[in-house]
Amino acid sequence: MNGLMVMGTASDVGKTMLCTAFCRSLANEGIKVAPFKSQNMSRFAAVLPDGKTMSRAQYLQAEAAKTAPIIEMNPILLQPCGNQTSNVFMNGEKFGPVEGMAYRDQFFERGIEAIRSSLDKLAGLYDTVIIEGAGSPAEVNLNDRELVNMRVADMADAPVLLVADIERGGAIASIVGTLQLLAPEHRARVKAIVINKFHGDVELFQDGIEFIESYTGIRVAGVIPFKADHGIEEEDMERAVQDAPQGIDRYDEWAAYIQAHIDWLYIKSLLTGEAK
């Protein structure tokens, strides 16, 4: 399938917001695009007209993509409900509460089936799919039964863009460490790196960009300055959202902001397999 997967060096590095921008940018170019996140853990959800429940993040990404949200965009939603348990929504159907280890034991194969079926449907309905990972693909203790990162990239046969949050510090180490912990075939999927939430003069980070590219052999496709006033609700956080500037659609404004700070032509080439 045509698609791009956005993964991060950690949680909360900006994967969701980057995917949202990509969805709107592609939609504005007349490309039928769908968001996809195989499994989302969030307390924030949206109910579709047919009564099925999906993550709020993918619901908003569908809005950004100018398409109707469908459950295949988020086939698995885990809603934490305390004591290491979550309500499990599989294809919109609720199970639970389910304890963490029980979920891994009882829902893994069913989850694989739901993900594969969802990807197949989206591939048939859309020109391309923007796939969002969760947490980090380098959480090696979870890799045997993970349903959100490189297993999904393999199923979709998608190239990967890796996002690091420089605001929290240690971005270069997190990039290098993440890549080092990936299996060789999965490291080969990573075709671009984006540095997110940058503060200050980007010129002062040029040495960092050159080091990352020379050390990893992977292109740094963008350094995105921090922006608080995007007006888009966060995936699973209760942080206050600042209103977007007046007079322009919030998704258009956010997409234009991201495009101004990344190599958009290179990102699109990843979607079509044309990137070298």
pLDDT at 208 over 60: yes
45-102 residue pLDDT tens: 999 999 999 999 999 999 999 999 999 999 999 999 888 899 999 998 899 789 888 8
Q: Return the pLDDT at 228.
A: 78
Is the per-residue pLDDT at 156 higher than 70?
yes
Is residue 224 within 8 Å of 195, Cβ to Cβ?
yes
**Residue 132: strand, helix, or coil:** strand
Q: Which two tokens stand for residue 178?
A: 């993440």
242 class by beta-carbon count within 10 Å (0-12 exposed, 13-18 middle, 19+ buried)? exposed
Residue 236 has pLDDT above 70, yes or no: no
Residue-level pLDDT at 168 = 86
pLDDT at position 84, please?
A: 86
Could you tell me what percent of the chain has a pLDDT over 90? 77
Confidence of residue 242 (pLDDT cuts 50, 70, 90): low
Query: Higher pLDDT residue, 93 or 120?
Result: 120
- Confidence band of 271 (pLDDT split at 50, 70, 90): confident
Read off the pTM: 0.93
pLDDT, tens digit, 9 for 90 and up, residues 188-207: 999 999 999 999 999 999 99
Which of the residue ranges 39-48, 94-103, 109-118 would you say has the lowest mean pLDDT? Answer: 94-103
pLDDT at 235 over 80: no
Confidence grade of residue 252 (pLDDT, cut at 50, 70, 90): very high
> If DSSP codes are grouped into helix, strand and coil, which group holds residue 35?
strand
- Cα separation of the two ends of the chain: 18
pLDDT confidence of residue 265: 96
The 8 Å CB, 24+ separation contacts for 222-225 are 222/194, 222/195, 222/258, 222/261, 222/262, 222/263, 223/194, 223/195, 223/198, 223/261, 224/14, 224/18, 224/194, 224/195, 224/196, 224/197, 224/198, 224/258, 224/261, 224/262, 225/197, 225/198, 225/199, 225/261
If you average pLDDT over every residue of the chain, what do you get? Answer: 92
pLDDT of residue 230: 74
The residue that leads in pLDDT, 232 or 117, is 117
- Residue 85 has a pLDDT of 92
Q: Which of the two residues, 1 and 16, has the higher pLDDT score?
A: 16
Q: Concatenated DSSP letters for 184-250? A: HHHHTTEEEEEEEEE-S-GGGGHHHHHHHHHHH--EEEEEEE---TT----SS-----PPPPTTS-H
Task: Calculate mean pLDDT across residues 99-125.
Answer: 93
